[in-house]
Amino acid sequence: LELPRLSFFAGAQIPSSFPKEDVPELAFVGRSNVGKSSLINALGDTTTARTSDKPGLTQQINFYAAGNIFNLVDMPGYGFAYADEEARLNWKKLIETYISTRKSLKRLYVLLDARHGIKIADKEFLMMVEKSRTKFQLILTKCDLVLSKDIARRYQLIKEELKNYRYAIETPIMVSSRTRAGIDKLRRDLLFLVNG
């Protein structure tokens, strides 16, 4: 299974730079370094999104066109303590504005590191998502770094915690951009969302 070819076409540091809403969008958000940009590359079989082992690399909202059928949207990470306060507040507002105003947004994916689960920064972020009444689905990333004997238990714990959220889709998705586990399943979900 393949997605249409991905190409970067817009980066926005302020809402007025968001591109027009002519195709459905799927957005990826989460703590710095959780693997958002890597996941977009894995989904598209490309290296078009820049990735780094240092948190805070993606500093604007990046829009990738999949053919001219839909967009994948890469967000700056939240919860990154090393970025200066002003920059952090800016990204936070930018992401909030995107989430609460973007009509073409078909699904918000909130990424969590499978090893760490829902941290305080995630709870704060999810509170904002809930306030904006945006439906979201969790993606647990880097599942190659969790021992297979621990995976089921961790998955259950997170699923249990999700019951506290009104706008959460019940079942998180597990992926690894490294081993490609879960990538085809996620591609199928994306294609279903944009075609349905």
For ligand GTP, the binding residues (CB under 6 A) are: 32-38, 51-53, 55-58, 76-77, 141-142, 144-145, 176-178
Distance CA(51)–CA(4), nearest Å, equals 21
Residue 142 binds which one of Mg ion, ligand GTP, none, with CB within 5 to 8 A depending on kind?
Answer: ligand GTP
CB of 190 to ligand GTP, least distance (A): 17
Q: What is the DSSP string of 142-174?
A: -GGGS-HHHHHHHHHHHHHHHTT-TTB-SS-EE
CB of 36 to Mg ion, least distance (A): 5
Shorter beta-carbon distance to ligand GTP: residue 3 or 146: 146
Q: Is 58 in the site for Mg ion (CB under 5 A)?
A: yes
Across 27-65, b (16+ Cβ under 10 Å) vs e yields bbbbbbbbbbbbbbbbbbeeebbebeeebbbbbbbbbbb
**Spatial contact of 49 and 37, defined as CB atoms under 8 Å apart:** yes
Q: Which of residues 107-166 bind Mg ion (CB under 5 A)?
A: none
What single DSSP character describes residue 132?
T
Shorter beta-carbon distance to Mg ion: residue 31 or 36: 36
CB of 196 to ligand GTP, least distance (A): 27
CB of 129 to ligand GTP, least distance (A): 17
Shorter beta-carbon distance to ligand GTP: residue 88 or 163: 88
**Given the rule CB under 5 A, which of 37-45, 113-121, 146-154, 160-168 is the region that contacts Mg ion?**
37-45
**Spatial contact of 111 and 36, defined as CB atoms under 8 Å apart:** yes
